[in-house]
């Protein structure tokens, strides 16, 4: 039997609708949630993501602006802007779009963002809080995936969860969230010796590697829940995930599509984090 699909667009819409009342309540108290997105350089994918993030904020009545720098800008200029935004009471969230150009020290830039405004959840203190099981800001993509499990009625406790990919943005925080939810977690990556051994026994499989259609139906356990975090552009211009949807949907019990799966949830949870930041400030 073909898998049930978790519709990220529908869930994102439902959540964004529910955010509007919170934004209005904050605005009425003079705390309209505000997000600044900083983009360095002209990476075409990043330009699209940044535009979508700003528009998603504006669509639910939040304040948002983007600040764009040339690729060769001095890091000190960006750090000075972050310091200014840290002190601005109208700005509740600051996001620096990654990747940054080679001459940047990414860690230094991310650590410069105030922990209270780190709506990406990338600051070491926020990652540490998540690791200790008391999260303050959770990285948006894995946070969105957790909402999808909730929507799909997936009970994570005691399940074998396998994550393919160990990035700071997705793989590692995803592992922490799944551990906190009671799953038994394995993180696979480019040095993993026998990927198939791991994927075949996964009740929950999260693919976050950036390789088009690398997870095929013969690699997964019948009835598995398959979450596709990949967004890859094929030579014909079409988008596809890290999961071969057509073959996996015949084996899985639940699956997320690309596009229309995890993607819209990432921005939704960015909105959630920024509203949460504004609510904390307004208390
Ligand atoms: N680049 C790819 N994904 C992300 C994300 O979630 N946040 C930021 N800041 N940059 C990214």
Closest ligand 1 atom to Cα of 139: 6
Averaged pLDDT of the chain:
98
**Residue 169 CB less than 6 A away from ligand 1:** yes
- Cα gap 100→26, rounded to integer Å: 33
Q: Confidence band (pLDDT; 50, 70, 90) for 266?
A: very high
**One-character DSSP codes across 98-163:** SSPPTTS-HHHHHHHS-GGG-TT--SHHHHHHHHTT--SS--HHHHHHHHHHHHTT---TT-EEEE
Contact at 8 Å (CB) between 258 and 230? yes
**pTM of the shown model:** 0.98
Q: Which two tokens stand for residue 174?
A: 């995803």
Using the predicted structure, report yes or no on whether residue 1 has a pLDDT greater than 80: no
Beta strands 93-96 and 34-40: pairing type?
A: parallel
- Cα gap 90→276, rounded to integer Å: 14
Q: Confidence band (pLDDT; 50, 70, 90) for 57?
A: very high
Assigned architecture for domain 30-117: 3-Layer(aba) Sandwich (3.40)
CA-nearest residue for atom 4, ligand 1, is 98
- So what's the pLDDT on residue 8? 98
Q: Which two tokens stand for residue 120?
A: 């990406």
- Of the CA atoms within 13 Å of residue 198, those in its CB half-sphere come to 19
**Residue 269 CB less than 6 A away from ligand 1:** no
| 89-139 per-position pLDDT tens digit | 999 999 999 999 999 999 999 999 999 999 999 999 999 999 999 999 999
- Cα gap 8→205, rounded to integer Å: 17
| 110-123 per-position pLDDT tens digit | 999 999 999 999 99
- So what's the pLDDT on residue 6? 98
**Residue 140 CB less than 6 A away from ligand 1:** yes
- So what's the pLDDT on residue 280? 98
Q: Confidence band (pLDDT; 50, 70, 90) for 2?
A: very high
Q: How far, in Å, from the CA of 81 to the mean position of ligand 1?
A: 19
Closest ligand 1 atom to Cα of 99: 1
**Residue 120 CB less than 6 A away from ligand 1:** yes
| 191-239 per-position pLDDT tens digit | 999 999 999 999 999 999 999 999 999 999 999 999 999 999 999 999 9
| 25-38 per-position pLDDT tens digit | 999 999 999 999 99
Residue ranges matching CATH 3.40.50.10860 in the chain: 30-117
Q: Give residues with Cβ within 8 angstroms of 128, minimum separation 6.
A: none
Q: Which two tokens stand for residue 276?
A: 């949460």
Q: How far, in Å, from the CA of 228 to the mean position of ligand 1?
A: 16
**One-character DSSP codes across the chain:** -PPEE--HHHHHHHHHHHHHHHHHHHHHTT---EEEEEEES--HHHHHHHHHHHHHHHHTT-EEEEEEE-TT--HHHHHHHHHHHHT-TT--EEEE-SSPPTTS-HHHHHHHS-GGG-TT--SHHHHHHHHTT--SS--HHHHHHHHHHHHTT---TT-EEEEE---TTTHHHHHHHHHHTT-EEEEE-TT-S-HHHHHHT-SEEEE-S--TT-B-GGGS-TT-EEEE---EE-TTS-EE-SB-HHHHTTT-SEE--SSSSHHHHHHHHHHHHHHHHHHHHH-
Which residues pair with residue 34 across a beta bridge?
Answer: 63
Residue ranges matching CATH 3.40.50.720 in the chain: 140-262
Residues assigned a catalytic role: 53, 97, 120
Place of tokens 């200029």: 77
Backbone conformation region of residue 30, classed left if phi is above 0, alpha if psi is from -120 to 50, else beta: left
Does domain 140-262 fall under CATH 3.40.50.720? My reply is: yes
Q: How far is CA 229 from CA 14, 167, 184, 215, in A?
A: 20, 12, 20, 12
**Residue 262 CB less than 6 A away from ligand 1:** no
Q: Within its chain, how far is the Cα of 130 from the centroid?
A: 14
């Amino acid at each position: 039997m073909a898998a049930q699909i978790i519709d990220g667009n529908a869930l994102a819409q439902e959540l964004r609708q529910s955010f509007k009342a919170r934004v209005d309540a904050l605005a009425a108290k003079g705390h309209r949630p505000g997000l600044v997105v900083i983009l360095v350089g002209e990476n075409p994918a990043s330009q699209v993501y940044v535009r979508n993030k700003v528009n998603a904020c504006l669509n639910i009545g939040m304040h948002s602006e983007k600040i764009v720098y040339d690729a060769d800008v001095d890091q000190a200029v960006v750090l000075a802007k972050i310091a200014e935004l840290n002190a601005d009471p109208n700005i509740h969230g600051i996001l620096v779009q990654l990747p940054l150009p080679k001459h940047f020290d990414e860690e230094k830039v991310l650590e410069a963002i105030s922990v209270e405004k780190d709506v990406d959840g990338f600051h070491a203190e926020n990652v540490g809080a998540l690791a200790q099981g008391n999260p303050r800001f959770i990285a948006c993509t894995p946070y969105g995936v957790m909402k999808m499990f909730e929507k799909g009625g997936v009970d994570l406790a005691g399940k074998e969860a396998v994550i393919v990919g160990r990035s700071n943005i997705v793989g590692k925080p995803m592992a922490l969230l799944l551990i906190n939810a009671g799953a038994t977690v394995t993180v696979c990556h480019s040095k993993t010796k026998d990927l198939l051994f791991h994927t075949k026994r996964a009740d929950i499989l999260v693919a976050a590697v950036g390789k088009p259609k690398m997870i095929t139906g013969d690699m997964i356990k019948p009835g598995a829940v398959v979450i596709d975090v990949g967004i890859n552009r094929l030579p014909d211009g079409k988008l596809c995930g890290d999961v071969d949807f057509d073959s996996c949907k015949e084996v899985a019990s639940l699956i997320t599509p690309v596009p229309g799966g995890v993607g819209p949830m990432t921005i939704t949870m960015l909105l959630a984090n920024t509203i949460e930041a504004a609510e904390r400030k307004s208390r």
